[in-house]
A and B are shown apart, each in its own frame.
Chain A
């Protein structure tokens, strides 16, 4: 097929594709720029919604969370930055024993923000937040307890 394009046909195709490319960049030239002038515009800073800065566990008004202490996130983590402590509690009504979360420990220093833990969670109990100013002076402060 390629041989069947004539000399002038090729010029036409080339010009057309070149102009398509140029129209794309011309549009880009006039769109608002994405650069953030960070320390100056700290108040009005806009960070992309899907940015992964820190793992958090959202809590409702009563201080409860959705975590069922299944340990899937701990298994999914390639770096071992999540460790979950659980205990067994016997339900008073049914008499069955049930795992309950004691401490959800997350080491920000080990995390590589792959989001495998969030994807593994069956209840949507953990998520990544946009809060990116995580610098601290002591490495121990990077190990955070996520549940309340």
Chain B
């Protein structure tokens, strides 16, 4: 498989030959940040387009068809509209917190986004407790949502923010448990190492029953974590107008919207890294010819393919089920997902200790 670190090392050496090393490191940081932000925005645009088309297909419609071929330019038109819209300021909002909130949400999802291993050697943040870092950064997005609801000085926003606080903090637990299950199986928290250890078989096959249970729990909790699907109570447009971002207009709203979509991408990306092998091609032990053919497909294609498959699964769920009530959401988490997740972790540990994995 092609190793992207060849390119990055070459760029590093080229920059170091031109300027002092501190300067080179600074310039590299800026370059990486620009690349990450551009990738973030482009993926968000792709996902908004996908959301519209998939939603339309589930409702027996065609979706946007007029702007560009098959409506391809529709999202660009929307983004342009969002950028030129006026940002309305209100008198009685808490100005500092009101303006800070969207940036916190975007910052949290950007930090988590940069942890994803896209291909061999193509990962920005990669260190020995990567999973832990992902959980930490993804969970402070809820802070931005709470601040948005609180500082808007609006009852709808407040209720939406409180709901999202209750929901996201609860579901953080079962997401963590299902990640821990996979950490128990892989024996490492470093994301690149986790992918490397799936070279023979992906963890969802290697860990068979407990891994599959963890995958399902992860998908449910991930859907709740991104405030989507049947768990979109913080927004609940029919009850709370738009929930925590009712008072936001222009790019303030745009940030929340993009962050919501990118959180979906991140949840799916982590799911494909942990369960479906990330950028690792499908390898079947014993079939060397098949494995060699699979290796010709670049890692980034594998990663994106798996991630978009998981995104499609989550969209399928979103456009199938009606919204839950808040007590049902909390019941599902605390009475069902957490106990099952804990027992599942125990079973996985037992499987690993006894060597019952494939």
Contacts and interface: CB of A to CB of B under 8 A. Distances in A.
Interface stretch (A23-31, A42-50, A113-121, A126-134): A23-31
A145 B65 CA distance: 40
Contacts of B61: 33-35
Given A11-B336, A18-B321, A22-B320, A28 B58 contact: yes
B319 interface: yes
A21 interface: yes
Contact of A26 (B59, B65, B316): B316
B317 A29 contact: no
Contacts of B65: 35, 37
A88 to B, nearest CB: 54
A105 B287 CA distance: 80
Given A18-B321, A21-B320, A22-B316, A28 B336 contact: no
Contacts of A22: 316-317, 320
Nearest to A31: B60
Interface residues of B, number: 15
A48 B56 CA distance: 20
A120 to B, nearest CB: 34
B316 A21 contact: no
Contact of A28 (B59, B62, B317, B321): B59
A24 B57 CA distance: 13
Nearest to A22: B320
Interface in B277-296: none
Contacts of B59: 28
Interface in A96-143: none
B57 A29 contact: yes
Contacts of A21: 320-321
Interface string A1-45: 000000000010000001001101110110101110100000000
Nearest to A35: B62
Nearest to B57: A29
Contacts of B60: 28, 31, 33-34
A22 B316 CA distance: 7
The 6 residue pairs across chains A and B that have the minimum distance between CB atoms = A35-B62, A25-B320, A33-B62, A29-B57, A35-B61, A25-B58
Interface of A: 11, 18, 21-22, 24-26, 28-29, 31, 33-35, 37
Given A25-B320, A34-B60, 7 more contacts: A11-B336, A21-B320, A21-B321, A22-B320, A28-B60, A29-B58, A33-B57
